[in-house]
Amino acid sequence: MKNYKGKTFIITGAAGEIGSSICRHFAHEGLRFYLLDLESQLVKCNELAGELMNMGAQHAEGMVMDVTNPEQIKEVITKIGEEEKYIDILVNNAGYGNTNSITNEGTIEIFRKMMAVNVEGPWMITQAALPYLGRPVKKPPKKNKDQREGQLIYIESSAGKVGVPYMASYVATKHALVGIADVVRMEMKIKNEKIQVISICPAPAKTKFWDKTKDMRGFMNNYEQKGFLYSAITADDVGKAVYRASRGNKNEVMVPRWWYLLPFIRSLSIGFTDKLLVNIGK
C-alpha cells in the first residue's frame, strides 16, 4: 500500500508494546486509527490515541473489545465499519502466551484460553470485518467488478514455524494462525480480490509479555543468555517490520530476517533444528 491518508486502520491489542509500536510507525501517514483492547487497557489506548494525533493521525480512538467475546467483536467491528464505510487495514495483534506444555504439567484450560485469544479471536474478527474490508479499486477487472483493495495483517510468531520447548500450547496456536493466514491469502486470490494478507513472524521480543509469570521471565532470561543466535528483538523492530511489509506488499516477514533460515534448515534436517531449539530449554 502506498497511499494511507484518510484510510481506516484497526488494531487489536493496541495498548501493548508491540501494538503501540506498530501504530507509531504508521502515525505520520494520516490514518484513522481504532485502537482496540480490553477495558482494563482503555486508558492506555486513549493515551496512545493522543500521541498518534500529535504524530499526524487524522483520527485516533480507543475502544473496548475482548477478542474472546463474539457479541462484542460483532458490535465493535460493525460500528466502525458503518461509521467509516471501509476498513482498509486490519491488524490482528492481540495475543496471549504462557509456558504451558504437555510434559511440564500444563493444563488444558490454559491451552483453551490461548486458543480462544490467539486463534478464535482473529478468526471471528476477520469474519466480522469482511463486509467492510477494503475499498473498491478504480479500474476493476472484468472477472470481479466489485474488486476491493486493503490489507489483513496477522501478528504471528516464529513459534508458528518451528517448535519451542515448554511452550506447546503457544506453538500450537501460532502454527494454527500461520495456517489461517495462508488460507485466507489464497482465498482472496481465488476471489480475485486485492486484499493483501500479511503474516508477521517475530522472534521472541523483549517486552512485558514475558513478565506474566516466573516461568515466563525465566524463559526469556535463559533465552538471552544463549548468545547471538538467540538475541531478543524489540517491539520497535516488530513495528518497523509491519510498516515496511505494508508499504512493500509483502506476504510474509520474519523478524529478524535471518530467521527465514530456520524453516528451511528444518526442511533439510529436523535433528539439527532440534539441537538449536532444545538449547533454549536447557
The answer to whether the pTM exceeds 0.85 is: yes
Q: Looking at per-residue confidence, does 278 or 226 come out higher? A: 278
Average of per-residue pLDDT across 236-246: 97
Specify the DSSP element, H or E, that contains 73: helix 70-84
Q: What is the pLDDT of residue 270?
A: 74
Return the residue matching grid coordinates 467491528.
77
Among the ranges given (93-97, 109-113, 157-161, 211-215), the one the predictor scored with the smallest mean pLDDT: 211-215
DSSP string, 15-82: TSHHHHHHHHHHGGG--EEEEEE-GGGHHHHHHHHHHHHHTT-SEEEEEE--TT-HHHHHHHHHHHHH
Residue 210 pLDDT > 70, yes or no? no
Among the ranges given (2-11, 112-121, 145-154, 248-257), the one the predictor scored with the smallest mean pLDDT: 248-257
* CATH architecture of structural domain 8-213+232-260: 3-Layer(aba) Sandwich (3.40)
Residue 88 pLDDT > 90, yes or no? yes
Q: What is the pLDDT of residue 105?
A: 79
CB burial of residue 88 (10 Å; 0-12, 13-18, 19+): buried
Q: How is the chain split into domains, by residue range? A: 8-213+232-260
Question: Do 8 and 89 meet the contact criterion of CB atoms below 8 Å apart?
Answer: yes
Question: Do 13 and 93 meet the contact criterion of CB atoms below 8 Å apart?
Answer: yes
What is the tens place of the pLDDT at every residue in 252-278? Answer: 999 977 666 777 766 667 776 676 666
Instruction: Provide the grid cell at 63.
Output: 475502544
